[in-house]
Amino acid sequence: MAHTNAWNVDRLPRQEGRVFLVTGATGGIGYFIAEQLASAGAHVILAVRSVDKAKLAVQAVRARVADARLSTVGLDLGDLDSVRSAAGLLSQRPRLDGVVLNAGVLARDARTETADGHELVYGTNHLGHFALVALMYPALERADGSRVVTMGSVAARSATLNLEDLESSRGPYRGFDAYKASKLAQMIFAFELNRRRQRAASRVSSLVAHPGGALDGLTPGRPPVFARTGFSFVRALPLAPFVQGKDHAAWPPVRALLDPCAEGGQLWGPRFLRWKGAPVIERPTRAMADLKTAGLLWALSEKATGITWSPHQPPLTRGPIGSTPAVQMNPDD
């Protein structure tokens, strides 16, 4: 699936006056998404769990982008009270031009739970982001052409989603299978969100991106956030023809967010074997685009989070929005 317009990953379109939220922005791919958006002149809100890590991330971005406009908001996607609090703060903004749902929990050896009693990986990666988007959707609608970019995974192509056991409570717990299923759930949600916003004539587009394969050893250092060691670089070199650093892994979500020719419902990933290179459009798997599964997953997500919502309508939630104070620091506006 070709995309016709030229795109230079090193020369992004200018974004002055626009505001973007990035979850999981204090390290890894999320950090580089934030850095690249800041380099284009955007005001970037870093959604963070740790105040200390947030300070380091802000320091690192400003070392590369001296005039970076940055803010932070406290967010723990594994705690729905925290999600409500952050969303309450974000929903009060005059505008929000886009969000990259990047934060995530990787595979676990044993099953653990979130603060709300959901399986940690599914509860954080999917349910937390589902609730966040629902509750801050009014702010997204106030900006013309805003976008929700969900970070999927190439691993989701081999995942299965068991709607009768989304939280891996039956049988032996297999951490990587739970992780793959959570990423598939995120991608199904993103495609369904775009279908629903189209039916509601909402101006908010929903796109999906995935980073391909990314290794610390191929990632440039960003002190004090990350320092690449010589050993990790040498160990990663044999894989360099097939995978990339986390700076390059940020390219697909950044293009999905900023490319004026990108459209809702698209999936963006690396060009070479879906693992590395410049971002291009990919075809979703049948499982990602299944309408019946998407409808059922949406209903189950509403039940699990206590949030009933539809694009263009205020969400109904069992808990108060903004009930717990959110952390915010270094505001530039």
What are the residue numbers of the active site?
179
Q: Pseudo-torsion of CA 48, 166, 130, 39, nearest 10°?
A: 50
CA–CA separation, 176 vs 182, rounded Å? Answer: 10
Mark out the alpha helices in the chain (DSSP H runs).
28-39, 51-64, 80-91, 120-122, 129-141, 175-199, 230-236, 246-249, 251-258, 291-305
Burial of 66 (0-12, 13-18, 19+ CB in 10 A): exposed
Long-range CB contact pairs, 284-292, < 8 A, 24+? 284/187, 284/191, 284/208, 285/156, 285/157, 287/159, 287/160, 287/161, 287/184, 287/188, 288/156, 288/184, 288/187, 288/188, 288/191, 288/208, 289/191, 290/188, 291/195
Q: For residue 168, give both structure tokens.
A: 């891996």
R_g of the chain computed on alpha carbons: 18
Length of the chain equals 333
Q: For residue 291, give both structure tokens.
A: 């309408």
Q: For residue 239, give both structure tokens.
A: 């894989």
Measured CA to CA in angstroms, residue 296 lies from 176, 185, 227 at distances of 23, 11, 43
DSSP letter, residue 255: H
CA–CA separation, 81 vs 116, rounded Å? Answer: 9
Strand pairing class (276-282; 267-272): antiparallel
Measured CA to CA in angstroms, residue 20 lies from 73, 81, 155 at distances of 12, 22, 27
